[in-house]
């Protein structure tokens, strides 16, 4: 376990799982303030501070807990500055904070094992046999965070560049765009994974996410998010969406894996804070639920565009009634063979 110290301030004592050196490394300094003090120093009313703190994914601190740092004050002021400068629309700051925090929390969750391993190496002692004091910044962990920070900053900026290329004039609050939206879903996931160990399940999930990310990226699409045993993606080009949809089950197929099915729909969607919203998203999801294993179903709008494409063949299937769509017309898409007639 990490070194444990106690924070004391005006009679309050609370155990924290880090030493002073780790606090300096991760939090920029010691824990100095209560929640009332950090709200006052950041210039925020207590209710606004609480709303943003929870939106960032952090738990409530007791009134007299001394757990906040100077970096907390600076970060909260910066969030307020983003709103005051007009970069974040008034009334959406909590949504902005949630959208920022959720992927970073997931990133931090898996990186915790890397960090605890580095801290264990630091606690094991120096080559001369001496051990670091609790207030020393752990050098191995410091080097790890420096490397991770550099890579993460590069990836973030590269994705920003790609986003600007896709939509150079996109407004900050979101935009309505015409996109193909796809869901790829593992068939029989619960049954197939019931007897798996945690390690086996972890390997399969990692393989699925890696396969989906590679196929979508190669096809010119974008992974929006992983949703349980599936993945949600978008593409600006209908043919690219079809190729991604057809390639995913092919690349994933193996005897020991649950098969994959895909639903695709095309139309106007709202892109906001890294997510997509509209009935088109729901339609793609419903198409997935009626698709057979290994197949790709598309809606009428996408079928109409693919019918004019020489590479793909679309065939109407029996109409279905699903939740939210009483008379759903699915179309089965496949690649044309050499002897298929041109449209």
Beta strands in the chain (DSSP E): 5-9, 12-16, 175-186, 222-227, 230-235, 260-272, 275-277, 296-298, 312-316, 320-322, 325-328, 331-335
- pLDDT score of 7: 40
Strand partners, 13: 8
Is the pLDDT assigned to residue 8 strictly greater than 60? no
Average pLDDT, the chain: 82
- pLDDT score of 16: 44
- Segment 288-299 shows an average pLDDT of 92
- pLDDT score of 1: 33
Q: Is 10 left (phi over 0), alpha (psi -120 to 50) or beta?
A: left
Reported pTM: 0.62
Is the pLDDT assigned to residue 172 strictly greater than 70? no
Q: Would you place residue 295 in the very low, low, confident or very high pLDDT band (cuts 50, 70, 90)?
A: very high
């Amino acid at each position: 376990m990490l070194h444990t110290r106690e924070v004391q301030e005006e009679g309050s004592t609370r155990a924290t799982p880090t030493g002073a050196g780790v606090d300096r490394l991760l939090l920029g300094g010691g824990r100095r303030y209560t929640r009332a003090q950090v709200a006052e120093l950041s210039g925020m009313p207590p209710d606004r501070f609480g709303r943003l703190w929870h939106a960032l994914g952090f738990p409530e601190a007791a009134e007299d807990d001394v757990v906040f740092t100077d970096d907390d004050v600076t970060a909260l002021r910066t969030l307020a500055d983003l709103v005051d400068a007009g970069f974040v629309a008034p009334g959406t700051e909590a949504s902005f904070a949630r959208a920022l925090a959720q992927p970073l929390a997931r990133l931090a969750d898996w990186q915790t094992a890397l960090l605890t391993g580095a801290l264990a190496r630091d606690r094991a002692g120096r080559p001369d046999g001496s051990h670091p004091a609790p207030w020393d910044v752990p050098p191995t962990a410091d080097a790890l965070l420096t490397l991770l920070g550099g890579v993460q900053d590069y990836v973030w900026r590269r994705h920003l560049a790609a986003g600007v290329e896709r939509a150079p004039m996109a407004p900050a609050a979101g935009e309505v765009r015409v996109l193909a939206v796809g869901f790829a879903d593992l068939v029989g996931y619960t049954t197939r994974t019931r007897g798996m160990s945690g390690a086996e399940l972890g390997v399969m999930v990692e393989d699925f996410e890696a396969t989906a990310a590679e196929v979508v990226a190669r096809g010119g699409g974008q992974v929006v998010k992983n949703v349980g045993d599936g993945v949600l993606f978008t593409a600006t080009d209908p043919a690219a969406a079809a190729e991604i949809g057809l390639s995913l089950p092919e690349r994933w197929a193996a005897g020991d894996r649950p098969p994959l099915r895909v639903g695709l729909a095309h139309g106007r969607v709202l892109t906001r804070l890294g997510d997509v919203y509209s009935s088109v998203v729901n339609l793609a999801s419903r198409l997935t639920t009626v698709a057979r294993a290994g197949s790709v179903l598309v809606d009428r709008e996408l079928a109409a565009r693919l019918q004019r494409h020489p590479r793909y063949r679309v065939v109407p299937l029996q109409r279905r009634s699903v939740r939210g769509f009483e008379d759903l017309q699915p179309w089965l898409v496949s690649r044309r063979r050499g002897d298929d007639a041109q449209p």
